Amino acid sequence: MMRSMFNHRFGVTIGIVVGLIFKFVMLEVGRLIYPPPVELDPRDAIQMAQFLSTMPPSQLIFVFASHVSQGLIGVLAGCLSNRKTSQRTGVLVGGITGLFCMLNLMILSHPTWFWLEVPLTIGVGFAIGGWLQAK
């Protein structure tokens, strides 16, 4: 019982960490493709909101894809680290990633369609977790 609980938490931790690393790498690639203004302070919510409102659609899609990929890659990593509890791990990693996305959307003013990230990351967790546990 104790070992199963440890493996379950370890898989969730792996999923969250790997997903975050992947997202940050993708965002850095995005900054190379679409460099932000030099004077932009990413810690200033007002400046970031103004910057988001001027982003071209292709850059917005890149940011959206990096957020959803965080859930996808994180769920895969977490579920593959412990196949016995992949359904629970997938749901937890997808849910936690969805909460991260929701927090980001509440702090910064994104386009309304960015709210699709939340159900997509949670849905990915359910789908991949269930699929890997069934195999």
**Ramachandran angles phi, psi of 34, nearest 5°:** -120, 80
| 76-112 pLDDT per residue, tens | 999 888 888 888 999 999 999 999 999 989 988 888 9
* Number of structural domains in the chain: 1
Name the pLDDT band for 20 (thresholds 50, 70, 90): very high
Once rounded to an integer, what is the mean pLDDT over residues 17-31? 94
Band of residue 2 on the pLDDT scale cut at 50, 70, 90: low
Query: What's the mean per-residue pLDDT of the chain?
Result: 88
CA pair distance 47, 41, nearest whole angstrom: 7
Q: What tens digit of pLDDT does each residue of 64-78 get? A: 999 999 999 999 999
| Contact criterion met (CB below 8 Å) for 81 and 14 | yes
Domain that holds residue 93: 2-37+44-134
Using alpha carbons, select from 36, 125, 26 the residue that is nearest to residue 76. 125
- Contact by Cβ (8 Å): 22, 74: yes
Q: What is the pTM of this model?
A: 0.85
